[in-house]
């Protein structure tokens, strides 16, 4: 990376990732922890987060795209990497060449993979491991339960392929209502029946896996040989219900947040009562006020509607409301009357958009609540223009 001039960055505490991985590992018991690091590690950065999770005890990684796995291989990470969707046919050679673990759920997928194994040839570790995905009610991707036996047979008919696992994904594991719990049980029952049919047909299923973060914490029956944890690694509970369970049921002090989004005040003005800062002149200042400009905007992942949604930032350990709508590269913050509440604000002062400052904290979940979304979307939305600054230490695992 070249020189950085703009005072805006996301601080990534890899020690917290390591802590969270270790905590999840203890909850998962004998299940292997697979760290889900798709989408640049949920916006935290591709490689440091993967290394930190491995150093905290994860043994597998999972990503959405072949491209995302290649980044980890090129960084020298050699652990098994599960692809959570069936790679497109034109990605199968790379999948085999990089020794990734593809998920497959169509006959065409098995065929494309078999052809890739033929054309890429020996990659040094015996047959290519395949995980079959069955749809049990999420209805996003996966084979019909009624097609699973045939698919498993197709895999076992190719000598260079080895069926490593059958898996599924839960739709409402983070829910706390009775209908949610019933649906999760239904998915588990459908899954177990589908796996039993494969084995009854004479194909051994060495592993199964089902659980995401929410299920790992809340649904013990979903913890199979492997658990796939994403959001919790980053120190964010998948839902309020899961946050409560974690607060009560864990031997440790719970999850540690990993990301904080920080900047510095770049410009200050004192404006008269009634002035209306920013585009649209949306809100009059209730009194003569200091208005601070902070050089981050919606191009950096700060949604424009955070103004309407009542968003705050922290400066000097005090919550301060936005003074007008978020613009592409900048926000305006109402710091109140000079000499008013809290410490006076100066150019260069640290601004916290997400994270802790003094006794105050703004979480990704708070943004999500205000914006009517989930913390996952907030974190993945922090744009590539924001440099990720890694702090903490996790040694040299995952080489």
Ligand X SMILES: *Cc1c(COP(=O)(O)O)cnc(C)c1O
- Six token digits for residue 139: 């209805």
Please name which of 393, 283, 388, 394 lies closest in space to residue 11, comparing C-alpha atoms. 388
Is 198 one of the binding residues for ligand X (CB under 6 A)? no
Determine contact, residues 19/398, Cβ cutoff 8 Å: no
Is 231 one of the binding residues for ligand X (CB under 6 A)? yes
Interaction pattern, residues 69-108, with ligand X; x per rule: CB under 6 A: ---------------x------------------------
Sheet order of strands, 207-209 included = 81-83, 60-63, 32-36, 226-229, 207-209, 161-167, 128-133, 103-104
Please name which of 289, 347, 279, 276 lies closest in space to residue 320, comparing C-alpha atoms. 289
Is 224 one of the binding residues for ligand X (CB under 6 A)? no
Min separation Cβ 42 and ligand X, Å: 7
In sign, the C-alpha dihedral spanning 51, 55, 56, 58 is positive
Q: Residue 83's beta-bridge partner residues?
A: 63
Q: What is the DSSP letter of 358?
A: T
Report phi then psi at 77, rounded to 5: -85, 120
From 105-113, 124-132, 225-233, 265-273, span contacting ligand X (CB under 6 A):
225-233
The SS3 of residue 81 is: strand
Distances (CA, A) of 97 to 39, 61, 90, 91, 101: 22, 17, 13, 10, 11
For ligand X, the closer of residues 136 and 213 by Cβ is: 213
For ligand X, the closer of residues 14 and 296 by Cβ is: 14
Min separation Cβ 54 and ligand X, Å: 17
Number of helical H runs and strand E runs in the chain: 12, 18
Active-site residues, by number, are: 38, 279
Q: Which of 31, 136, 212, 357 binds ligand X (CB under 6 A)?
A: 212
Count interface residues toward ligand X (CB under 6 A).
Answer: 13
Q: Which of 48, 87, 238, 303 binds ligand X (CB under 6 A)?
A: 238
Min separation Cβ 239 and ligand X, Å: 9
- Measured from each CB, the residue nearest to ligand X is 230
Interaction pattern, residues 13-52, with ligand X; x per rule: CB under 6 A: -----------------------x-x--------------
Interaction pattern, residues 159-178, with ligand X; x per rule: CB under 6 A: ----------x---------
From 17-25, 228-236, 346-354, 390-398, span contacting ligand X (CB under 6 A):
228-236
Beta-carbon contacts of 182 under 8 Å, excluding residues fewer than 6 positions away, are none
Footprint on this chain of ligand X (rule: CB under 6 A): 36, 38, 84, 169, 212-214, 228-232, 238
């Amino acid at each position: 990376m070249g020189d950085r001039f703009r005072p805006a960055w996301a601080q990534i505490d890899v020690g917290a990732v390591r802590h969270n991985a270790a905590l999840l590992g203890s909850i998962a018991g004998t299940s292997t922890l697979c760290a889900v690091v798709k989408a640049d590690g949920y916006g935290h950065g591709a490689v440091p987060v993967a290394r930190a999770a491995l150093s905290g005890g994860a043994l597998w990684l999972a990503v959405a795209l072949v491209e995302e796995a290649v980044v980890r291989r090129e960084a020298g990470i050699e652990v098994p990497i599960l692809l959570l969707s069936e790679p497109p046919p034109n990605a199968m050679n790379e999948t085999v060449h990089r020794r990734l673990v593809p998920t497959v759920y169509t006959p065409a997928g098995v065929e494309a993979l078999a052809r890739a194994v033929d054309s890429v040839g020996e990659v040094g570790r015996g047959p290519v491991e395949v995980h079959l995905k069955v749809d049990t009610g999420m209805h996003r991707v996966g084979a019909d339960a009624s097609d699973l036996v045939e698919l498993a047979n197709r895999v076992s008919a190719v000598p260079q392929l080895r069926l490593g696992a059958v898996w599924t994904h839960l739709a409402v594991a983070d829910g706390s209502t009775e209908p949610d719990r019933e649906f999760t049980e239904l998915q588990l029952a459908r899954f177990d029946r589908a796996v039993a049919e494969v084995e009854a047909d004479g194909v051994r299923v060495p592993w199964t896996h089902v659980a995401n973060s929410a299920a790992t914490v809340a649904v013990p029956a979903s913890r199979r040989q492997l658990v796939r944890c994403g959001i919790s690694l980053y120190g964010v509970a998948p839902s309020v219900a899961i946050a409560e369970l974690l607060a009560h049921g864990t031997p440790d002090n719970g999850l540690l947040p990993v990301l904080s989004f920080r900047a510095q005040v770049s410009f200050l003005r004192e404006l008269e009562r009634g002035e209306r800062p920013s585009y649209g002149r949306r809100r009059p200042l209730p009194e003569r006020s200091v208005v601070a400009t902070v050089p981050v905007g919606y191009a950096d992942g700060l949604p424009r509607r955070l103004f309407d949604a009542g968003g705050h930032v922290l400066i000097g350990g005090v919550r301060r409301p936005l003074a007008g709508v978020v613009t592409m590269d900048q926000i305006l913050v109402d710091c109140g009357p000079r000499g008013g509440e809290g410490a006076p604000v100066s150019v260069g002062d640290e601004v916290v958009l997400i994270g802790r400052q003094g006794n105050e904290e703004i979480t990704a979940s708070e943004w999500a609540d205000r914006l009517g979304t989930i913390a996952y979307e907030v974190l993945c939305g922090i744009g590539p223009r924001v440099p990720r600054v890694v702090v903490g230490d996790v040694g040299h695992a995952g080489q």
